[in-house]
Structure 1
Amino acid sequence: MFKQDYLYWKMIQGLQAEGGYRILQLSKTNNEIWLETTQKNKPRIIRILRHDLDWGNWMQRDMELTAKRLEQLRKRLFARKLDALNIYITTYPPVDDWKYRLEQPLKAGAKGLTTLHTVLIESEQIETGIQEVSNFVHTDIELNDSLYIDLETIENLKRDVITVANQRISSEKQILQNGKPFFTYILIAIQLIMFAFLEFNGGSTNTENLVKYGAKENFRILNGEWWRFFSPMILHIGFLHLLMNTFALYYLGTEVERLYGKLRFLTIYVFAGFIGSLASFVFNANISAGASGAIFGCFGALLFFGIAYPSIFFRTMGPNVIGIIIINLVLGFMIPGIDNSGHIGGLVGGFLAASVVHLPKRKEYGKRLGGLVVTLVAVGALLYTGYVLQPHSDNPRFIVQTAQEFIESDKVLEAYELLKSAEEKGVDAPEVYFYLSYAEIKLGKTEDAREHLEIVTKRAPAISEAHYNLALVYVQLQEFENAKKAAEQAIEADPDNENYQKLMDEINAIETDPM
């Protein structure tokens, strides 16, 4: 019996030292252990049971239960498939027929993605059993046959195994604790201060106020205000937006700062916020603000940690992190108004920044250089798209936004030329025609404005302003019957607008008294 107990602990020691396995779980009675490795071409999980078997059917039930537990573990680890090795160390083999039970591996799960191989090692076939295990793990496990085995020898071996396991646990704790959060709290304070500042200076939900103090606005960025790639991450639109992002930063930021250290965390956070704003600049024409891109960068940094330390990641935060990312991205696509391009940009930016700064005590300069090259290429491609391709593109949203900026700056002719050029290029969108008609009215091109407004009202009847403007054009052309119909449609689309009703009254008055 001592020999079997010695084999049990010796095999664990060999798998620790030579096989690259770590202890995942050890039973209270110390007779069952689960080990894990991330090395390729080896069973990811090894379960060893030191138990004297009596009957083959008990062994069969135990194998089936082990396979089910492994399938549950595979799902928690988000593993595509899981190969495992189950080892029984017994003094004597079962008294009934049992060998046929081990001829084929067990499959678990609906799709059979978990595979369990089983080896039985008994006192009269130790060498054969050890060789079979070695073939699975690609590691030689040797016994010292000349060693005198007694209880003290086994206890010493057991102590060595547990000492190595504790050292690994201590090492993993150091990986998870590379400093206390500092910049997270500074960033939270800045967010709160800026929110209060906005509230006392025009409101945090006022679009003009947001733009004034640094929200991402494409036209202004194109006109040299590059700092708007960074300033949006400290601005928030309304209290709920601030509350959600502050809580997210508190929980995610502190975790990332502990993993990466203060300066690495700050670098990751700021760069992710920049990439989030840059991606929004390229893919989203709307005004935006918020720390969401930088916060998603924290998710990206955690994903990179998962690549660097997959075992620790999936045993701790991994499943929750992946689940939250998926939920947030799905909600971003489903709920209008969420800047998902900024979220995805921040996620990628955080991952890339983490690949460059890497984790403490991990030099890996070659991989970091590769991450830097990919990062520079990605940033260059986004900047080229945003600054060079986008202004000359046929994107209706960008054209309309640029035209709006021209009109608000009293550059009506520039707006007209931009919109007219878009029309000539074949850009066919009601919004383009609407703003083109507005510019034409301002420039005295009444007939052209009429033509374009008639297109808009047919294609987008919900745009009440188009009906109203068309009514004004008809009045100017002295087509009062058409003007009345257009005014009625404007009122129908927006019955609470006093200007529309006032125009209707004026048209009725003209019809009653044309002089």
Structure 2
Amino acid sequence: MNGKMELLFWQLVYFFIQQRYRIVQLADDAREIWLESLENKHVPIVRLVRYDIDWSQWLKRDMEYAWRIAEQIQKRRIRKFNKIVNIYISTYPPVDDWEFLIEKPLPLLQQRNAVLQTFLIHSGNIHLSLQQLADMFQASVTFPAIADVHDPFFEAERLKRAVFREEREQQERERKLFKYGKPVFTYIFIALQVIVFLLMEWSGGSTNPDVLIKYGAKFNPLIQAGEWWRFFTPIFLHIGFLHLLMNTFALYYLGMTVERLYGSWRFFFIYFTAGFFGTLGSFLFTASLSAGASGAIFGLFGALLYFGTVYRHLFLQTIGTNIIGLIVINLVFGMIVPGIDNAGHIGGLIGGYLAAGIVHLPNHFDWKKQMRSLLISVGIAAFALYIGL
């Protein structure tokens, strides 16, 4: 094993970590590492392999393996990209002809113009290869002269520990994002809607229009007559046990996630703002009597989408695909099945996204973005009320 090439391998890994790449796959012997970028849209995936290559046949087989993995990655990704970079660090090049294998990038079939580009860095081309990488990544790829390092194995081990320490710290920061707050209002809102449902059943039935109107359901003539509180009270009313059950489960699972992400008071603001926008959407586009927490719950979807705009990579890596899928399924379901107030759902989704933009995430402050969200929210609400009233 060549200590200098071992050091170069970990210098490159550390360089990519500093460029905000994350380790997504690691071989048991830590000699093959796949990294994914948090920010680089053009080269989101980098593979690094430390192996002393003897023959070009091994290189050819391994490049084919990397190409197959790259194809699978392309199928899974929502965002498209231009390149996956495949880098080998070998003490010496193969003893037979090999340059023709990496002369041209391998095209990927799943996307037009996307390629797998391979570099083979060996002791005779280190400077040239690092310059090519610097040009590709538009960053300075310069390391302390390896020849000056007294113990390259020790230095490589130090960098290896630094890489894994940085990775652990990043994982801990991400874990804390999902554990910022403790669910409080989620339980309170669930209890309130259950209590109100029982009171409605005791008063004559939750499906009785007179009972619904008495308890504050959305009823356009009364809103137009000045009962503005009906923009908020429908959030806690439900028409039938199945309606209550579905919304309670949705509020529990989504509410727990959003309240942990944003904290209790931000969650409170998001939930009520989304509920208001949901009722407002229903008021504008649906003349029938309506009630339910669905608009506010869709607002929680909106808050999660806003989280995805701030932490795009983390969102897509964790809950993003499921959240987007659930939103699409629910909206399509609302269009197909009669009796579902889809205007309220869409209004709540928009309201929740804007409300999250107003309060932003914990420990984040961007007054321009927050003020923009506030002005858009006020503008939409004022225009909708002007039309409806």
Counterpart pick for 2:221 among 200, 219, 222: 219
Shift in Å, 1:255: 0.3
- CA gap of 1:74–1:376, structure 2 versus 1, over 3 A, is farther
Partners of 1:93 and 1:234 lie apart in 2 by: 70
2:97 — aligned with what? 97
Contact 2:270–2:356 (8 Å) recurs in 1 = yes
CA deviations over 1:67-97 (Å, ceiling 9, x no partner): 4433433444421345321111112223343
CA deviations over 1:357-413 (Å, ceiling 9, x no partner): 0000111112111211222222222212212xxxxxxxxxxxxxxxxxxxxxxxxxx
Aligned-partner residue type, residue 116 of structure 2 = L
TM score, norm. by length of structure 1: 0.72
Shift in Å, 1:40: 4.3
TM score, norm. by length of structure 2: 0.94
| Deviation larger for 207-216 or 291-300 | 207-216
Instruction: Give the unaligned 5+ runs of structure 2.
Output: none
Give the share of equivalent positions with the same residue, in percent: 47
Shift in Å, 1:258: 0.6
Determine which structure has more spread, i.e. the larger CA radius of gyration.
Answer: 1
Contact 2:6–2:153 (8 Å) recurs in 1 = no
Shift in Å, 1:115: 3.0
Shift in Å, 1:305: 0.5
Aligned-partner residue type, residue 154 of structure 2 = E
Contact 1:77–1:315 (8 Å) recurs in 2 = no
Shift in Å, 1:57: 4.2
Counterpart pick for 2:160 among 158, 161, 176: 158
SS in structure 2 of the partner of residue 123 of structure 1 = coil
SS in structure 2 of the partner of residue 124 of structure 1 = coil
**TM-align CA RMSD:** 1.8
2:355 — aligned with what? 353
SS in structure 2 of the partner of residue 24 of structure 1 = strand
1:281 — aligned with what? 283
Partners of 1:304 and 1:235 lie apart in 2 by: 27
Partners of 1:111 and 1:352 lie apart in 2 by: 34
Partners of 1:134 and 1:288 lie apart in 2 by: 60
Contact 2:217–2:290 (8 Å) recurs in 1 = yes
1:15 — aligned with what? 16
- CA gap of 1:182–1:218, structure 2 versus 1, over 3 A, is same
Shift in Å, 1:116: 2.1
Partners of 1:223 and 1:137 lie apart in 2 by: 63
2:209 — aligned with what? 207
Partners of 2:63 and 2:219 lie apart in 1 by: 62
1:5 — aligned with what? 6
1:311 — aligned with what? 313
- CA gap of 1:130–1:365, structure 2 versus 1, over 3 A, is same
SS in structure 2 of the partner of residue 48 of structure 1 = strand
| Deviation larger for 146-155 or 57-66 | 57-66
1:336 — aligned with what? 338
SS in structure 2 of the partner of residue 36 of structure 1 = strand
Aligned-partner residue type, residue 140 of structure 2 = D
Partners of 1:235 and 1:97 lie apart in 2 by: 75
Contact 1:42–1:138 (8 Å) recurs in 2 = no
- CA gap of 1:75–1:288, structure 2 versus 1, over 3 A, is farther
Asked which structure has the greater RCO (Cα within 8 Å, sep 6+), the reply is 2
Contact 1:67–1:114 (8 Å) recurs in 2 = no
2:327 — aligned with what? 325
Counterpart pick for 1:385 among 355, 379, 387: 387
2:72 — aligned with what? 72
**Paired residue total:** 386
Contact 1:22–1:36 (8 Å) recurs in 2 = yes
